[in-house]
Amino acid sequence: MDEITTTATQYADMLIVLLTDYGLDVLGGIVMLVIGWTIAGWARRAVDRTLGRIERIEATLRNFLASAVRYLILVLTVLAVLSQFGVQTASLITVFGAASLAIGLALQGTLTNVAAGVMLLFFRPFKIGDYVEAGGKAGTVKAIDLFMTEFATPDNVRILVPNGKIWGDSVVNYSHHPTRRIDFAIGIDYGDDIDKAIATIRSVIAAEPLIHGDPEPIVAVTELADSSVNLVIRVWCDAGEYWPLKFALTKAFKEALDAAGISIPFPQRVVHVVGAREPLAAE
């Protein structure tokens, strides 16, 4: 019984020593974790609100940056707690850095896409709903995330393009400006009246309400080609009306020129043969 009592006393003394030596450290570590967790949440919300006031920053990028700040604070908090217990955080940071380097090399392509996604979301060369050519593909932008951009072709085919390919290539945005210019090239016969053809085309333009008056439409002779006198027609319209108006005007120009007796010639060539002889009669 005396031995049991002695052992219990020894364990009690050890427990008291541990509580005395490490109790404050444990309590301090818990307090630091709570404070760090609170600050991380507050910082995330603050970053999200601040970036939300900047119009050019998309919601996806805003959430990514806010979460990155939160996790950075949490990592620093854990390192501080470990340091509180005497753990050599320098070695942990070295190991963490080496592991991060190895992971970065293994996921080099993925990280490139993430970096490109951040740049696309920040600089916004296009937005959802724009019709663009990017990364060798063309279509309407349906979604932009940190890894890929989703396009829908005019025939409604879904295309996913890595952001790294888009950021490293030129981007053609057909929807960026509110207005666009439609160009037509129409050839008329050399024997036709040019002024009459121009007046006929202008009458079609004047009857179309979707065509803008400013900039003023242009109808002019652009080339004396082999088989025709070529006219250039340039009109401006809202970007969303580009294709419907182009289709409608192509039909209207043809019908109006036909009604005015203006012909659109087929390619032809006159050949003069010097010293040609009559063909020999068949035997």
Please state the rounded mean pLDDT for residues 152-158: 93
The verdict on residue 97 lying in a domain is: yes
| pLDDT for position 242 | 94
What CATH code is carried by the domain that includes residue 158? 2.30.30.60
Look over the chain and give the mean of its residue pLDDT values, rounded to a whole number: 80
The verdict on residue 116 lying in a domain is: no
| pLDDT for position 156 | 92
**What is the rounded CA–CA span in Å between residue 70 and residue 45?**
9
What CATH code is carried by the domain that includes residue 220? 3.30.70.100
Main-chain dihedrals φ then ψ at residue 133, nearest 5 degrees: -115, 120
Question: Are 184 and 233 contacting, i.e. CB atoms less than 8 angstroms apart?
Answer: yes
Q: Which two tokens stand for residue 197?
A: 């053809």
Predicted confidence (pLDDT) at residue 173 exceeds the cutoff of 90: yes
Where among 117, 144, 173 does a domain terminate?
173
| Residues 60 and 98 grouped into a single domain | yes
Share of the chain above pLDDT 70, in %: 72
| pLDDT for position 118 | 80
Q: Length of the chain in residues, anyone?
A: 283
Where among 173, 193, 210 does a domain terminate?
173
Please state the rounded mean pLDDT for residues 7-20: 59
Please state the rounded mean pLDDT for residues 156-162: 93
| pLDDT for position 18 | 53
For the stretch 99-111, pLDDT in tens is: 555 555 554 556 7
Please state the rounded mean pLDDT for residues 132-155: 89
Question: Are 161 and 187 contacting, i.e. CB atoms less than 8 angstroms apart?
Answer: no
What's the structural domain count of the chain? 3
| pLDDT for position 39 | 85
For the stretch 180-195, pLDDT in tens is: 999 999 999 999 999 9
| Residues 48 and 141 grouped into a single domain | no
Please state the rounded mean pLDDT for residues 142-167: 89
283 pLDDT band, cuts 50/70/90, is very low
| Residues 40 and 85 grouped into a single domain | yes
The verdict on residue 16 lying in a domain is: yes
Range of the domain at 7: 2-106
Please state the rounded mean pLDDT for residues 142-159: 89
What CATH code is carried by the domain that includes residue 45? 1.10.287.1260
The verdict on residue 267 lying in a domain is: no
For the stretch 200-259, pLDDT in tens is: 999 999 999 999 999 999 999 999 988 899 999 999 999 989 999 999 999 999 999 999
> Lowest-confidence range among 52-56, 131-135, 150-154, 222-226?
52-56
Question: Are 262 and 202 contacting, i.e. CB atoms less than 8 angstroms apart?
Answer: no
Predicted confidence (pLDDT) at residue 138 exceeds the cutoff of 80: yes
Please state the rounded mean pLDDT for residues 125-154: 89
The verdict on residue 113 lying in a domain is: no
Question: Are 225 and 186 contacting, i.e. CB atoms less than 8 angstroms apart?
Answer: no
208 vs 272 pLDDT, higher one: 208
| pLDDT for position 282 | 46
Main-chain dihedrals φ then ψ at residue 237, nearest 5 degrees: -150, 170
Give the up-direction half-sphere exposure of residue 263: CA atoms within 13 A in the CB hemisphere: 9
| pLDDT for position 37 | 83
Task: For the beta carbon of residue 169, count every other beta carbon within 10 angstroms.
Answer: 14
pTM higher than 0.75:
no
| Residues 10 and 78 grouped into a single domain | yes
| pLDDT for position 54 | 73
Closest listed residue to residue 43, CA positions, set 61, 66, 11, 27 = 66
| Residues 148 and 192 grouped into a single domain | no
